[in-house]
Structure 1
Amino acid sequence: MKFSRFNSMSIRPFQLGSAALALVMLCALASCGGGGVVPATGVQLRALSAQFAARKSVSYSPFRTLNRDTETVTAAQIKQDLDLLIAGKFTLLRLFDSSDNVSKLTLQVIRDNHLDVKVMLGVYIQGNNDAFNQAEIARGVALAQAYSDTVLAVSIGNETMVNWSFNPSTPAAMAAHIKTVRSQISQPVTTDDNWAFYASAPSTITDAIDFASIHTYPLADSVHNPHLWDWQQASVPAATRAVAMMDAAIVAAKKDYSTVRSYLDGKGLSKMPIVIGETGWKAIASGGETFRAHPVNQKMYFDRLSAWSAQGGTGPISIVYFEAFDEPWKNGDDNWALFNVNRQARYLIQSLYPASQWEAGTYSAADAVYYVPVVANAIITANRYASYADIAVAGEARPVETPVFNAWDGTTASYPEVSSSSAPADPSHSIEITPKPALAGWGWGVAQQLPTTADDLSNFGASGFLNFSIKTSYPGKIEVGFMTGSTTAGSAFDVYLPLAPGSYGYLNDGNWHQVSIPISAIVPHGAMAFGMTDASKAKLDLSRVTSPFVIADRYANTGKAQNSNDTTKLNIDAVFWSK
């Protein structure tokens, strides 16, 4: 999917009736665009089917478990999913690849059951893995040919060229893949990528495609580039701030689209249609989207997309909502979907389904979340401040607000609480961290965060210690520490010590060990957090500790090679500050 984290350009309070939703979600134009000639090449653009504008569209992936690599998806499961989507009139699916176990099976289910469903087929490109890519291209071509009555278009590659791509490929390589597919099928072709790529896409790509499929994620951008659009709306009274935020979100999405439209028009490609291939909003915050992600806010964004589609005119041909069903394997990048993993309808589409199929929870417009400035709590005067521990010690302080664990970028680690292992001095739970650095390449991190407040730990600065218990055989150094300030205020400051085995009680021999590090030893390693630009704001402030514990491995800081991608588990327990 998404993130505009490295690009300065980039990456619903009421319910509509089912008939109204059926009309507005995808019908952006009375008929689809396309056709005409690419000026630079003389190649005839293949027109998009009118079905793109006549159907509501959603991206679909069927995985239901924590490990998609070992999961067996059945035809019965896909049939269940498609029946649910058809009931809500979501009948144009974007598939991400041409795999046998998902896409081929999905197309077979559609045909075998005579389902009124059309598909935008994906061909997944895996960097420079030529053997994989050629096999995938062959599968995609075969499916597009065999299911030409169902496959309306083919998209080759997913977010491969935007500058923050986790799966990068060059425009030249992508153009070659696109042309290889296009030469063997009759459907129009594209490549799915972030709007920021398409806003300056080279002719190498625009000469090879029939339409542009762009991704816009105002929510993700608000996390990775907080100043790209004014999501906080801090000047708006609290009573109307949620509405103002969601209005600003749809304005941001429209701006992304308009930027691409203007760029293509300037290249003489005014006849090239644009599809929004991905956009959405989370129902649950799981990757730093505090004050933004909520079922009501998700519906507010969905409703605004629907209204945009209904306007027609010069807007996108269609909008593919991300996504149909939650996928637990995504960990912190989950919770975007129309349905939860149990196939229960979320608030944004409950008007389309009977109450028996709804997710638990009752909401109204008043439940929408919005930005609230971080509240500074009173100074901690106790000699011990425990942020994660089962056993309470007499006289200790605990965080005023219950902390939550989050992976950096929402995806770089999983971190369930387990009862299978715990520190001897603090039974009976621990946090079991499994790094998942392959998505990023630069490493991973997990932070224990206070969502809306900051604790004053300034009394621990001179003679305090950060203590925790750890069990791991993870190789080499790790980073541990804390964070002060907040990204929303532009004051986030990382304070992380590269910790080598044998230092401060830390050993990586697979047994439990208690680590105790002087705060004074961690502080010299502090630096402005990612995305912070004002050193007068982003600086050490122990009176505003917002993450009392952070554990990470940024390879550039620990001496590991880029893409080291070690996934050895680390168990963490008994986290406390002391003096």
Structure 2
Amino acid sequence: MNASSAIKKSISRVKRAASMVLLAISLVACGGGGIPQTTDAGQQLRPLPEAFKVREAVAYSPYRTSSRDTETITKAMIEEDLSLLIKAGIGLIRLFDSSDAVAEQVLEVIRDKNLDLKVMLGMWIATDADSSNQAEIARGIALAKAYTSTVLAVSVGNETLVSWTAHPQQAAQLARYIQTVRTAVTQPVTTDENWAVLAKQSSEQDATEVIRSIDFVAMHTYPLIDTVYNPNLWNWRQTEVAAENRAQAMMDAAIKRAKFEYNAVKSQLNALGLSRMPVVVGETGWKAVASGNETQRAHPVNQKMYVDRLKAWKQSGEGPATLVYFEAFDEPWKGADDKWGLFNVNRQARCAVQGLSSDFVAEAGSCDLALATYYTPVENNGTITSNRYTVYADAVTSGEARPRVGPVLNAWESGTTAEAVSVNNAGSNDGPNSLQIKPKPLVWGWGMTFAISENPDDLSQFDSETARLNFSIKTTYPGKIEVGFLTGTAADSSLYDVYLVLESGQYGYENNGQWQQVSIPIQQIKASGAKAFGMENSPAAVLDLTKVTNPFVIADRFGKTGKTSSSQVPIELDSVYWSK
């Protein structure tokens, strides 16, 4: 029998044993593994292995496509990834689950290729899914017992308690899951959770029972995400600082915020009599590309600045036992939550790691600190007083106004959900060219914006009963579409969608494959306005015609148009303009 067969048989036996353990959940909170430490509250803790504390750590998932559920993960893919991480100086990876497709294959590759990597093994816990949770726990226990020299710690659940998760788990139930795992394995056990829960913030449930069931805290801190959902939580704009120093000031303020959240967690542990409990940062990071309203913040250079500050914090001896950077590689399936990777999806090294190995293929673009992005206050281009405001047209109309710099065509989800090409038209009555929009829908739909690349335009004089949005369109696209405009900016957390659901037969629109002239009252479109995605809780997200940043948007969000799927039938557009 070879080593691989022996371990697989061992895992099978352990899974059966683990399943038996799960039938009677034990409330024992101690267990084997190293010499336990006793907290000032009398709680015994399994010590973190020294290797866990000294190795550079990163969160790892191998997914490379926009559809995780249908992607096949191979050992060759995993080996390629792990080789890159080792060259980047990574010695510890955090896995999010104990699946056969990812976790077991990763552990097998580490063993078979004799890689110098250790693992923080995750067990994915879902709310109101006890059967699948028990199966996940059984798999995790089996892997932790079969790979004791590689799996240094186990984490049960990922952001399962925090109030903003879709369906928060109850602390008592999570504590029972943790206690079950801790009874069955020898490694130190934790759960990965947002800092606000662990620091007992007023908006969160009491996690004391969970904290008393773990050996160390794994807290998540995301100053970047806070700037989107709570833009005034910390001073990321740094408008009091000169523009040439503003990026540095923003990143200094970001790490200061992370330290504040860490200290808040430490204070809560002290209050519980757990001052000796180790704290690690289980997730933190900075996006290299703005994929979810992080403009003027996300950039490869800013990402490097954040990583450098994290390293300095750890090396100071005043921070967490270790830091797990989120994440190793971009994952397109995450949509607006993509672009955190130290490497992009093509495995090209970004600025934060480019200098760590001559073997890396570098992502295009300079890493000069002068290129770091920063906040620039929004100022509009002045009130448009003309009777016509043209967004896109070949022909010039006397007396019209246009954006000072021509609109940039931006598809949603970082340009992935549609593409636009110029084509020769016939019959639109507006010069030789038109725009062809080719939808490339994701599971929720697609969208294309005509974005003003500089300051927004003030179209407040078009806020009248007679003002209209006009465009020519030719398509056989099935069902309804959305058309309208967008006001506000991501930087000011003021984005506001103003889109009308349009069906064939309304306002001159027909999807019969012939050119049609559509004219919609601005007031009708305004009535359909709503805070943009990610801005639902932002008081700044209001309709503001003095700050029109995207004077035309065309989209198909299935939740709005009532579809379950979409089409890639192209849509031709021409002569897009506002009129009084």
Structure 1 residue 491: deviation in Å? 5.4
Q: Determine if the alignment matches structure 1 residue 211 to structure 2 residue 216.
A: yes
1:429 is the counterpart of 2:433: no
Corresponding position of 1:166: 166
Whether the 8 Å CA contact 2:434–2:573 is kept in 1: the answer is no
- 449, 453, 456: which one pairs with 1:454? 456
Deviation at 1:169, TM superposition (A): 2.2
Counterpart-to-counterpart distance in 2, 1:146 and 1:91? 20
> What are the superposed Cα offsets for residues 391-420 of structure 1, whole Å, 9 maximum, x if unpaired?
63444735625435465xx69x96231679
Mapped contact 1:406–1:446 kept (Cα < 8 A)? yes
Q: How far apart are 1:124 and its partner, in Å? A: 1.2
Q: How does 1:21-420 map to 2 (within 5 A)?
A: 35-37=36-38, 43-166=43-166, 168-200=168-200, 201-313=206-318, 315-354=319-358, 357-380=361-384, 385=389, 387=391, 392-395=394-397, 397-398=402-403, 400=405, 402-403=407-408, 405=410, 407=412, 415-417=417-419
In 2, the alpha carbon distance for the partners of 1:47 and 1:474 equals: 60
Deviations 1:364-385 (A, max 9, x none): 1111111111232255566665
Classify the secondary structure of the residue corresponding to 2:381.
strand
For 1:305 and 1:365, locate their aligned partners in 2 and report how far apart those are by CA, in whole Å. Answer: 17
User: Secondary structure of 1:374's match?
Assistant: coil
Give how far 1:209 is off.
1.4
Q: For 1:147-206, what per-residue CA distance to the aligned partner results, in whole angstroms no more than 9, with x for missing partners?
A: 111001111111121111135322233222222222211111111121112111422211
Identity %: 49
CA distance in structure 2 between the aligned counterparts of 1:488 and 1:419, rounded to whole angstroms: 29
Which residue, 494, 503, 518 being the options, matches 2:521?
518
CA displacement, residues 73-106 of structure 1 (integer Å, 9 cap, x when unaligned)? 2212211111111112101000111111111111
Specify whether residues 525 and 86 from structure 1 end up closer, same or farther in structure 2 by C-alpha distance, changes over 3 A only.
Answer: closer
Structure-2 change in CA distance of 1:285 and 1:179 (3 Å): same
RCO higher in 1 or 2 (8 Å CA, sep ≥ 6)? 1
Q: Kindly tell me: are residues 101 and 420 of structure 1, through their superposed partners in 2, closer, same or farther at Cα, counting changes over 3 Å?
A: farther
Moved more, 246-255 or 347-356: 347-356
Q: d(CA) in 2 for partners of 1:34 and 1:366? A: 50
Q: What do the CA deviations read for 1:462-514 (whole angstroms, capped 9, x no partner)?
A: 33323465765568xx7653333335446555544466775435679999987
Task: Name stretches of at least 5 consecutive residues in structure 1 with no aligned partner.
Answer: 1-32, 438-442
Contact 1:35 1:271 (8 Å CA) reproduced = no
Report the counterpart of residue 30 of structure 2 in structure 1: none
SS state of the match for residue 134, structure 1? helix
Aligned-partner SS, 1:141: helix
Question: Is 1:464 matched up with 2:471?
Answer: no
Q: Distance in 2 between matches of 1:507 and 1:169?
A: 48
Contact 2:283/2:323, CA 8 A, preserved across alignment: yes
- Corresponding residue for residue 203 of structure 2: none
Deviation at 1:36, TM superposition (A): 3.0
Q: Aligned to 1:324, what secondary structure does the other structure show?
A: coil
Q: Which residue of structure 2 lines up, in the alignment, with residue 577 of structure 1?
A: 577
* Partner of residue 536, structure 2: 530
Conservation of the 8 A alpha-carbon contact between 2:230 and 2:538: no
Contact in 2 for aligned 1:275/1:316 (Cα 8 Å): yes
Q: Could you tell me which residue of structure 2 aligns to residue 17 of structure 1?
A: none
When Rg is computed on C-alpha atoms for both structures, the one with the higher figure is 2
| Secondary structure, counterpart of 2:120 in structure 1 | strand
Amino acid paired to 2:303:
Q
SS in 2 for 1:429: strand
Superposed CA RMSD: 3.6
Supply the distance in 2 between the matched residues of 1:205 and 1:220 (Cα, whole angstroms). Answer: 25
1:307 CA drift (Å)? 0.5
Please, which of 543, 548, 569 is the counterpart of residue 545 of structure 1?
548
Cα distance in 2, alignment partners of residues 263 and 423 from structure 1: 66
5 Å-filtered alignment, 1:442-521, equals: 449-450=451-452, 452-462=454-464, 463-467=466-470, 469=473, 473=478, 480-486=483-489, 488-489=491-492, 492-497=495-500, 503-505=506-508, 516-521=519-524
- Aligned partners of 2:436 and 2:571 also within 8 Å: no
CA distance in 1 between counterparts of 2:51 and 2:514 reads 60
- Tell me the distance in 2 between the aligned counterparts of 1:508 and 1:128: 44
> Aligned partners of 1:99, 1:510: CA distance in 2, in Å?
48
Q: Do 2:40 and 2:275's aligned partners in 1 also have CA atoms closer than 8 Å?
A: no
**If the length of structure 1 is used for normalisation, what is the TM-score?**
0.80
Shift in alpha-carbon separation, 1:545–1:142, aligned structure 2, 3 A:
same
Structure 1, 446-455 or 251-260: larger mean CA deviation: 446-455
**Aligned equivalents of 2:516, 2:138: Cα separation in 1:** 52
State the Cα distance separating 1:325 from its structure 2 match. 1.2
Find the aligned partners of 2:314 and 2:441 in 1 and give their Cα distance.
41
| Deviations 1:235-292 (CA, angstroms, capped at 9, x unpaired) | 1111111111110010011111111111111111112111111111111122111111
What CA distance in whole angstroms lies between the structure 1 residues aligned with 2:163 and 2:512?
Answer: 39
Q: Mean alpha-carbon deviation: is it higher for 344-353 or for 114-123? A: 344-353
Name whichever of 546-555 and 79-88 sits farther off.
546-555
Structure 2 segments unaligned to the other structure (5+ residues): 1-33, 201-205
Stretch moving more, 524-533 or 256-265: 524-533
Worse-matched range after superposition: 208-217 or 376-385: 376-385
Please give the secondary structure, in 1, of the residue aligned with 2:251: helix
Separation in structure 2 between the aligned mates of residue 279 and residue 510 of structure 1, nearest angstrom: 50
Q: Distance in 1 between matches of 2:357 and 2:227?
A: 31
1 CA distance for matches of 2:424 and 2:130? 45
Shift of 1:218: 0.8
Give the Cα separation in 2 of the matches to 1:210 and 1:329. Answer: 33
Q: Is 1:446–1:552's contact at 8 Å kept on the other side of the alignment?
A: no
Question: In structure 1, what is the Cα distance between the partners aligned to 2:389 and 2:35?
Answer: 63
CA distance in 2, matches of 1:88, 1:157: 28
How big is the shift at 1:126? 2.7
- The 1:321/1:474 distance shift into structure 2, 3 A limit, reads farther
Moved more, 244-253 or 127-136: 127-136
Q: Secondary structure at the match of 1:377?
A: coil
- The corresponding residue for 1:19 is none
**Is 1:38–1:207's contact at 8 Å kept on the other side of the alignment?**
no
Deviation at 1:434, TM superposition (A): 3.2
Structure 1 residue 312 displacement after superposition? 0.9
TM-score by length of structure 2 reads 0.80
User: CA distance change for structure 1 residues 64 and 533 in 2, over 3 Å: closer, same or farther?
Assistant: closer
Moved more, 539-548 or 336-345: 539-548
Q: Distance in 2 between matches of 1:117 and 1:343?
A: 19
2:63, 2:85 → 1: CA distance?
15
CA contact (8 A) 2:558 2:565 kept: no
- 2:418–2:447 Cα contact (<8 Å) kept: no
